[in-house]
């Protein structure tokens, strides 16, 4: 991944962070707030289907590559073309602080 040209980061995404607020019943309600708009390389990487609560749920996985940042975590998500890509893992592929590779999942 260290050979990725900067021109490959041609998709505009918004990085969002979670905000948890008490729901009054002992739990919390999660919403997201924008952190920053970024240039990224977004590539679909697969799809799987699970049965959740007796219904089929399809999850599409994506690999999102961005310039290195120190504030990206797996609790965050990207918004790309109106779709929410939840970050599952974050990797600095060559540990040179040049790029971050984020494995993401979009549930439809």
C-alpha angle 19/80/56, rounded to 5°? 80
**Can you give the residue ranges of every domain in the chain?**
6-107
The tens digit of pLDDT for each residue in 21-69 reads: 998 888 889 999 999 999 999 999 999 887 777 788 888 999 999 999 9
Report CA 97 to chain centroid distance, whole Å.
18
Report the CATH fold assignment for 6-107: Thrombin, subunit H (2.40.10)
For the chain, what is the mean pLDDT?
92
What does the buried/exposed string (b/e) look like for 3-17 if buried means 16 or more CB atoms within 10 Å of the residue's CB?
A: eeeeeebebebebbe
């Amino acid at each position: 991944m260290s050979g990725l040209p900067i021109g490959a980061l041609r998709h505009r995404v918004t990085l969002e962070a979670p905000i948890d607020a008490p729901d009054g019943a002992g739990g919390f309600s999660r919403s997201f707030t924008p952190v920053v708009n970024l240039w990224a390389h977004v590539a679909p990487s697969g799809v799987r289907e699970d049965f959740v609560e007796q219904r089929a749920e399809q999850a599409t996985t994506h690999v999102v590559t961005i310039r290195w940042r120190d504030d990206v975590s797996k609790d965050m998500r990207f918004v790309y073309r109106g779709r929410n890509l939840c970050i599952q893992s974050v990797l600095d592929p060559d540990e040179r602080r040049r790029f971050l590779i984020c494995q993401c999942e979009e549930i439809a």
